[in-house]
Structure 1
Amino acid sequence: MQLVVSLAIGLLAGSGVWLLLRARTFQVTIGLALLSYAVNLFIFSTGGLRTGAEAILQSGEVGTLARYSDPVPQALVLTAIVIGFATTALLLVVLLAARGLTGSDHVDGRERGR
């Protein structure tokens, strides 16, 4: 399971960086989203990959860290997802306005060869 999650993080991060280096604004936006998903998955995996573990202590039980999942990375990832969605929406609006003003969807505002 850890190998699959590690490969997924590496694939998302690599694809995100590759798309960030492209000249089109939509590809840069998708690259930022993929990179944020990779970071979110990394933060989520730091809490421990446990299946079937309870998140909340039952009343009258003594809890050990081996039996329960850590809720802090889950809360951080949930917050990061909401913030990432809002910033992606804002970035798309700014990119649409920039395309309307410049007539191009290149990052530098110019087509190649001009």
Structure 2
Amino acid sequence: MPGKRLNENQQRFVRNLVNYFQRELENKGPLLPLNCIQERVANGLDISIHTVGNCLRKASASAKAPAQPSISKKLKTTNSPEPIKMETRDVLYDMYAEDSTEETEEEIHIKEEPEKEIFIKEEPLI
């Protein structure tokens, strides 16, 4: 069964990794301590350690379980007794009724004082 064909970047990574392991073989042991995993991977693939960290972060983010949809919070009046709900509703309706029937001071002032006509006396020009 044929394997997956590697692109140029992937082939370059394989070559770098083989070269790294050959250097470790010649060294008769690891070039970096075994507990420095990210540094060894970066050195073996000849890439930046930041690139290794970014790849690991992306992989861990995609491996996480899908986020649960947030539970919508219930309204505060949901668990209230029915009489309190009714009283709250009545207060709100009364406030709304007051706002809609209330006239502004300007409207009242206009109704109280009708516009006055001003007559200008014309004098003959000499």
Identify whether the pair has TM-score above 0.5, normalized to the shorter chain.
Answer: no
TM-score, with structure 2 as normaliser: 0.22
TM-score, with structure 1 as normaliser: 0.24
| Structure number with bigger Rg | 2
User: Relative CO higher for 1 or 2, CA cutoff 8 Å, sep ≥ 6?
Assistant: 1
Where is the helix percentage greater, Structure 1 or Structure 2? 1
